[in-house]
Amino acid sequence: MTAVDEILRTLPVADLAQQLDARPEDVQHAAAAVLPALLGGLQANAADPAGARSISGALSQHDPRLTDGPVDLGAVDTRDGEAIAAHIFGGNQEQVAQQLGGLQGVGGPLVQRLIPILAPIVMSWLAKQVLGQAGAGGSLGQAQGGGVGDTVLGDILGSVLGSATGQTGMGTQQNADQREARGFDTGTIIRDVLGGLLGAGRR
């Protein structure tokens, strides 16, 4: 299962659709495009050491348990999501939203409203993965206090994001067919939508 699939399974799509006054299928398709874009944007930022340190620090502010089951939308801080999106995409947010909306045929406005909701969810998922690899059960602050330094966390972060934005686990024909049926391809979204927009990271 890919990172996108894993996060999608935790999303209460019907509740999101009601909150955004949109059709559930449109929300599903938009989320399937937004998630790889957020992960790819984080990977671009993490490629820069200062960006990796910034992301590692930000992860400590996100509860890794948020994505343990269906996400409680009431626990999602959209103002935090707006800040995360601004950090990842900078001045390219509208352009990214328009391209993602066009890719899925759902329109840029829906994507733009969805990004600040999904961004904290992605950060919580990422915090859980990084903590798992760091061997800590509490928080990233505890991990650092337990001897897991910024460099190690940065390496783990890069490894997790590299796996999340690659084609790992998608090599079988069945998975390829499922990916085609869903109408998105993580690699294509990162390459075609984010390519050239984010550079080597925004720190």
Is residue 81 situated within a structural domain? yes
Is residue 101 situated within a structural domain? yes
DSSP H stretches of helix in 135-172 = 140-145, 150-165
The structural domain count of the chain equals 1
Whole-number Cα distances in Å, 162 to 1, 15, 130: 15, 31, 12
pLDDT digits (tens, 9 = 90+) for 58-88: 888 899 899 998 999 999 999 999 999 998 8
Is residue 131 situated within a structural domain? yes
C-alpha dihedral sign at 53, 157, 28, 74: negative
Specify the pTM.
Answer: 0.78
Residue 159 has pLDDT above 90, yes or no: no
Q: Is there a contact between 70 and 4 (Cβ–Cβ < 8 Å)?
A: no
Is residue 203 situated within a structural domain? no
Q: Tell me the two tokens of residue 170.
A: 């998608």
Determine what percent of the chain is predicted with pLDDT higher than 90: 31
Residue 31 has pLDDT above 90, yes or no: yes
Is residue 202 situated within a structural domain? no
Is residue 92 situated within a structural domain? yes
Q: What is the pLDDT of residue 170?
A: 34
State the Cα torsion 69-74-75-77 to the nearest 10°: 130
pLDDT digits (tens, 9 = 90+) for 93-113: 888 888 888 876 788 899 999
- Cα 141 to chain centroid, rounded: 21
User: Which residues constitute the domain of residue 128?
Assistant: 3-194
